Amino acid sequence: MNMNPEERETVCKCGQETEEQKYERLDQVIEIYKSKPGSLIQILHMAQGIFGHIPSELQEYIAGKLNMPVAKVHGVVSFYTHFSMVPKGEHTIQVCMGTACFVRGGKEILETLTDELGIGVGETTPDGKFTLEVTRCIGACGLAPAVTIDNVVYQMMDSNKIKQVLKNGEFGA
Ligand code: FES
């Protein structure tokens, strides 16, 4: 299932992605989430997945898009940093939000997972079993979309496959 590092290098184009392309992807995410409850937190998690971090200019951009004070966005970013040691679920599911995965169905997989688990990005199920996260490119673009569960990479996923993985409990190392 895993690819060797050389194969990954030849297929992964995320390193060539421009800032503009990343912002375009973020705009799509903002469109999807902006009217949902808790949208700011969801969007920040997605931004983290796309950019790898959330610098102040990105915070300003998101604040502008959501029509809210930058201080509020900054407050949430700081809050999450502060509470980063909050225990995660027994299993951590990460959906890749890199370019290849995003356009080949990563977005739909994430929606399926939020429905199936009943939680949003960055949240943990009430039974403490799963934490749902997004991640930047993990170097498996050739077989996108990719999802990791407890650091095991599942490639060429789709909504049905991820449902099956959850149902069968086929996760983890
Ligand atoms: S975009 Fe590269 S592995 Fe998902």
Are residues 95 and 156 part of one domain? yes
Q: How far apart are the first and last CA of the chain?
A: 13
Query: Which of 2, 95, 96 best tests ligand 1's pocket when mutated (most atoms within 8 Å of CB)?
Result: 96
What does the alpha-carbon distance between residue 41 and residue 108 come to, in Å, rounded to a whole number?
19
Which pLDDT score, from 0 to 100, does residue 109 have? 97
What pLDDT is stored for residue 169 in this prediction? 84
Q: Which domain holds residue 125?
A: 91-167
74 shares its domain with 96: no
What is the predicted pLDDT for the residue at 107? Answer: 92
Q: What is the pLDDT of residue 9?
A: 46
CA of 87: how far to CAs of 106, 132, 143, in Å?
A: 25, 13, 31
Task: Name which of 137, 121, 125, 115 is nearest 16 in CA terms.
Answer: 137
pLDDT of residue 108: 95
Tokens of 21: 């392309």
Please give the pLDDT value at position 77: 84
Residue finishing a domain among 31, 49, 82 = 82
pLDDT at 87: 57
> For residue 107, what are the contacts with CB-CB under 8 A and spacing of at least 6?
28, 32
Do 76 and 42 lie in a common domain? yes
162 and 96 share one domain? yes
Number of domains in the chain: 2
Tally the residues of the chain.
Answer: 173
Compute, in angstroms, the gap from residue 67 CA to the centroid of ligand 1: 31
Same-domain check for residues 154 and 97 = yes
Positions of the chain with pLDDT under 70: 1-15, 80-87, 170-173
